[in-house]
Amino acid sequence: MEADPAPLGEREPLGWQGVAYVRLHGTPKIYYSAYSELFLTALAERLRSRAVPTWCIFDNTAAGAAVPDALQVVEQLE
């Protein structure tokens, strides 16, 4: 699991290794902030390089950033 902001600090959560999960809440203002193009490009590369199926959830919805952020990542993955 990967999250922004990290809920466990530097510790990695335990769980089944057959799937990965990324949950993004927005930075610097949680639930509001959109991610930079640089961050989303790096995220797409990390998602592409995963060896297991990966869920990526954008939860920065309060100001409507989640859908554009997700669509930018999808476009980069295609």
Judged against a pLDDT cut of 80, whether residue 77 lies above it is answered with: yes
pLDDT band for position 5 (50/70/90)?
Answer: confident
Q: Which among 34, 33, 1, 38 has a CA at the least distance from the CA of 17? A: 1
Q: What is the mean pLDDT of the chain?
A: 90
Q: How many CB atoms lie within 10 A of CB 73?
A: 22
User: Structure pTM?
Assistant: 0.84
What DSSP assignment string belongs to 29-65?
STTTPPPPHHHHHHHHHHHHH-SS-EEEEE--TTTT-
Chain mean position to CA 49 = 14
Distance CA 15, CA 45 (A): 23
